[in-house]
Amino acid sequence: MQENQFKKWLESKGHNSRVVSSVLSRCGKIESELKLDLDKEFITDQGTSLLEKLKYSADDERHSRAVPRGLIVNGSIRKILASLKSAAKSYMDFKKGSSNKVTSNPKSKSSATVKAIDKNDVVDFEYLKKAFGVWLDEKEILSTATSIASYRSYINQLHDGYNEKYESGSFENVISAYKSKSKKDISKAYVDVIVFINEQKQVNRKKWTDIGSGFNQFDSFLNEEFDVEGYETDEKRTKSVKEITYPEVTPQKITKEKKVRVSRAISTAEGVLEEFSLKELFNIFKNRLKTQSRYYPASVDLLFPVRLITAIFHKAKDKAFNEWMMSGLRDMIVLGKDEAYRFEDVEKMCFLNDKRVMVVLKNSKVFELYTYNAEGKKVVPLRTQYKGDISIDHIVSLAEKMKKHKNELPAFREMTQIYHEFERASATKLNPRAERTWKNDLLKKYSSELCSKKMRNAILNDLNTLDLHYVLMDQRENSKKGKN
């Protein structure tokens, strides 16, 4: 075992001296008691057979399966073998070298950009945990350093608990599902974690409710971090401005619920997998609005840089943009089978095991969530167990709105011109839609122009001119619109 190099590698991952000492001790125990050399195990099959030997499931424990010959175990066999396996896996990851590390963007402390990696790369959980804290601050989801530290702690506890119950690296496999960008894999991984959290709530409800809240924010972070939604689908449908224009939903068609109590409620017998309060839903959908950047070169040559606008107002400590988004969310339309409701009337949303999504209003009325289909005509039941499958769509397409008001949007025109100037001066070709890769550098260079009170007021005036309205929609149906 390359003890000194391995020790430095562990320290570079942010582990404290106690953890480093423990991992080294466990690796030493493996070598001395199993009479093997970890370096030779790596050369043979990258440690695969050793890790298999150290597996010890709940079923093995029930049937009192013997431990590997020579290994001395005092205490819980399953826990001790899990800790040894975790240490061995860490050593094999170290041996794979540092070329697969996930690295942050050195240009900006506030950038949480992850280096492009393939699915065989090592997941750097410690880096992602730190980037998660930066993201919570940038998105103004949490207002204090203490609360941000708490949420990072929740994810750390979830990571350790999940790996302890299953096996070392299981939570990293969850993150790998997000890296794969496969909605099917992400949905399965998300549900697996939620089921695990629900099981732990039976032991400590308060602790695991907090951890569940932390994971739901971590899910949003990972979707954005790995660009799960991507840019291609939207680019395809905006090239020729083929976006669907939904029939305008007027206030007369929206049911404003009276404060009347009704008897029916969601019961545990219906198999509630997960539920979100109105406050949690506001945070979830506000995050979506903050990533909905658009660029329409063909129709109006205007950039709609939501990430940049968010950063401008955040840098100026101006909450006006946040208030504008909250106002739009309050009036967002939530569809039932025969009626539409305002989002502000919702009390909570429940995801059931049978994939129905039930909405509970503040007056206790319960209805099943429906969605427009890809053609924007039929209203169909929305089926999912994963909150990421519910997206926000414009009732009237943003492309059409910007085309209609293209001569009345001076702030968006100026931001687009600044972007083109920045692009011309850049040494590499920029993608206007990949806003996360250039917004920090652009903001730093043009801070005085973009963060002025005059510009912030102009941006708000342009947003009010566009008069945007939203509807909750099945993300999969939304994506199909690019294929029509």
Distance, CA of 117 to CA of 181 (rounded, Å): 12
The pLDDT tens digits for 273-290 are 999 999 999 988 988 888
How many C-beta atoms lie closer than 10 Å to residue 264's C-beta? 10
- Could you read off the pLDDT of 407-459 as tens digits, one per residue? 999 999 999 999 999 999 987 788 888 888 898 899 999 999 999 999 999 99
Predicted pLDDT at 213: 92
In whole angstroms, give the CA distance from residue 164 to residue 160. Answer: 6
Greater pLDDT, 246 or 131? 131
Classify residue 384 by burial, with Cβ atoms within 10 Å: 0-12, 13-18, 19+. Answer: buried
Tell me the pLDDT of the chain averaged across its residues. Answer: 82
- Whether the predicted pLDDT of 217 surpasses 70: yes
Please give the structure tokens belonging to residue 292. 């909905």
Environment class of 337 (CB within 10 Å of its CB; exposed 0-12, middle 13-18, buried 19+): exposed
Q: What pLDDT is attached to residue 271?
A: 84
> Can you tell me the mean pLDDT for 375-382?
83
pLDDT tens string 150-173: 999 999 999 999 999 998 889 999
Look at residue 256 in the predicted model and tell me its pLDDT: 60
Percent of the chain with pLDDT over 70: 85
> Can you give the pLDDT at residue 257?
57
Q: Which of 18-27, 230-239, 316-325, 424-433 has the highest mean pLDDT?
A: 316-325
**Res 267: pLDDT:** 52
Over residues 447-475, mean pLDDT = 94
Whether 72 has a pLDDT exceeding 70, the answer reads yes
With a cut of 70, say whether residue 483 has pLDDT above it.
no
d(CA 118, CA 114): 12
Mean pLDDT of 12-30: 83
The predicted structure's pLDDT at residue 476: 83
pTM: 0.67
Per-domain residue ranges of the chain: 1-98, 101-226, 232-483
Whether pLDDT at 94 is above 60: yes
* Structure-token pair, residue 224: 């954005």
Q: How far apart are CA 339 and CA 366, in angstroms?
A: 12
At residue 232, φ and ψ (nearest 5 deg) are: -65, -45
pLDDT (0 to 100) of residue 172: 92
Q: What is the pLDDT of residue 229?
A: 61
Q: Give 293-328 pLDDT, tens digit per residue.
A: 888 887 788 999 999 999 999 889 899 999 999 999
The pLDDT of residue 65: 84
Tokens standing for 212? 């569940």
CA distances for 482 relative to 242, 385, 446, 469, angstroms:
8, 24, 34, 20
